[in-house]
Amino acid sequence: MHHQPTPDVSVIIAVYDALPYLGDCLESVVQQSIGMERLEVIAVDDGSTDGSGAELERYAARHPQLRVLHQPNSGGPGGPRNRALDLARGRYVFVLDADDHLGPEALERLVAMADAQGSDVVLARQVGLGRTVSEKAYRHAEEADLYTSEVYRSLHSAKLMRRQVLEDGHLRYPEDLWYGEDQIFMTSVYLAAGRISVVGDYDCYFLRRRDDGRNITSRPRNAEETVAHIERVMALVAERVQDPVGRRRMLGRHFRSLLSTALRPAVLARHTDPGYTAEVYGRARALVETYWTPDMGGELARIDWIRLYAFACGPLTAFEQLVEYDPAQEPEPAEIVDNGRVYRCYPFFRDPAAALPDVLFDVTDRLKARHHLASMSWQGGRLRLTGHAYIQSLGTGRMESELVLRARETGQEHTVPVKARPTPELAGKDPELAMAGFSADVDLATLAAGEPLAPGTWDCFLNVRADGITRTVRLGRRHAPELDRTARRARVLARDAGGVTEVAAAPFFTSYGNLSFEVVRRLPLPKG
């Protein structure tokens, strides 16, 4: 008996009225560098009325690896995808939307990653064609942790998935939803996966916004269709995820979605469809009461945390005004420093009518220090460092910074004061940065209470202080490429009384570009 070889990939395509984009989609599959002999393609025509079914048959006549099924319209992609999954034979499955297309090497690269790493899911880097995609989700990674990486930002189905994982877990799309069904399916797949990888160094998948506006996600939704998938996926995460970091991050992702895809439309519809708004508000409030915990605030943009708190605890009018407030279209909010904390003055900050707590507006822990090492040179027996450093949003008129050398092995520290210097190149862009410059003279021979630094590796940090706020940065990651290379040669710091040994130090940059010092005790080297 003749047995057909097992395909490497089963490409699944649910098709409904996909012309004129279907040709590009199919052509991108049959032209894959992996070769059609390693594929099977299962396309399910879900009751198309525009000739998509006939187009599928034309391709099937030329490519025996393409199998076409026809069925009455089911109302959403879940049903036809499940039918194809039931028939799939490949080691892996890839779900392709009929109005999108693949990069020529996409499947070859995805399979190579999965085979090399033993991956159960491989994310395919997406490119938006008139649509936005998450850059963070597609950072190239041989292994990406579901809870600490950004892969959970991507719940679109276009991923390579090990078929055995789907079969073992009986994982299929919910067929009673036409919107958000992929979020529930992909969350289940992620949670079942043993290893997740990302092909982020190649444009694998081109996600299209249709010119005719007929992407299924553009279809109008009632309140049930707007919220139901979020309710289900939050319940799934809450039930399945016990890791506190993972639970917080995954639920936080869906609270972001709740704000943008459910509450925002409800606010905009409050005058034209108050019934819709009231139902969405009620169901969203139930989700907040059930799943929200204070530590999730960090998973949201600051303005979204304020919005969600106002929705749950503040006046509804304040929430609705905050939803309609667009930071991108408004002047940059002012910031104030009060008792060592920095507050961003978004609408309703310290407004007694709204009574929103200050902590919602506190951005102190999100402020970052910017720095640049401009020069490094020996001045006699001292190493002089110059550059600039400042804390975002804080002026430099009251800066007090210091250089820190920290022993990598023991954690012992020595500090060196730095002098402020004018930075006209920054002041031209922002007058508040007029004195962001610094210079430091580091005497390695006397830094340790009049003695040379102890042998070992000493990493260089900069404590940047302004208005009572301190940020510590690893000095050197951002440095001028023309830094004097002769300054990196070893310098003798001291010799013992008998001249038998000497202490020498050599500045160097780590593989990440950070400045460190290697201090050694050695036999004196011959001169010359």
Sign of dihedral through CA atoms 98, 103, 104, 109? negative
Residue 461 has pLDDT above 50, yes or no: yes
- Residue 112 to residue 216: CA distance in whole angstroms: 32
Task: Report pLDDT for 1.
Answer: 44
Sign of dihedral through CA atoms 92, 119, 192, 149? negative
Residue 228 has pLDDT above 50, yes or no: yes
Within a 10 A sphere around the Cβ of 136, how many other Cβ atoms?
A: 11
Domains and CATH numbers, the chain: 9-216 (3.90.550.10), 217-366 (no CATH), 369-522 (2.60.40)
Task: Report pLDDT for 467.
Answer: 81
Percent of the chain with pLDDT over 90: 73
Question: Are 302 and 366 within 8 A, CB to CB?
Answer: yes
3-state secondary structure of 453: coil
H helices present in 292-345, as ranges: 302-313, 316-324
The pLDDT of 316-330, averaged and rounded, is 94
Q: What's the chain's average pLDDT?
A: 92
Task: Report pLDDT for 214.
Answer: 63
Whether omega before 327 lies within 30 degrees of 0, making that bond cis, reads no
The pLDDT of 171-189, averaged and rounded, is 97
Q: In what helix (H) or strand (E) does residue 71 lie, and over which residues does it extend?
A: strand 66-71
Percent of the chain with pLDDT over 70: 97
Within a 10 A sphere around the Cβ of 19, how many other Cβ atoms?
A: 16
Task: Report pLDDT for 477.
Answer: 85
Residue 218 has pLDDT above 70, yes or no: no
| Backbone conformation region of residue 369, classed left if phi is above 0, alpha if psi is from -120 to 50, else beta | beta
Local confidence band at 528 (pLDDT 50, 70, 90 cut-offs): low
- Residue 354 to residue 46: CA distance in whole angstroms: 50
Tens digit of pLDDT for each residue in 18-47?
999 999 999 999 999 999 999 999 999 999
Local confidence band at 458 (pLDDT 50, 70, 90 cut-offs): very high
Residue 286 has pLDDT above 80, yes or no: yes
Tens digit of pLDDT for each residue in 420-452?
888 888 888 888 888 888 999 999 999 988 899
Within a 10 A sphere around the Cβ of 351, how many other Cβ atoms?
A: 12
Least confident of 91-95, 203-207, 378-382: 378-382
Task: Report pLDDT for 2.
Answer: 52
Instruction: Note the pTM of the prediction, 2 decimals.
Output: 0.82
Which residue in this structure is represented by tokens 């202080």? 465
Which residue in this structure is represented by tokens 């080691």? 91
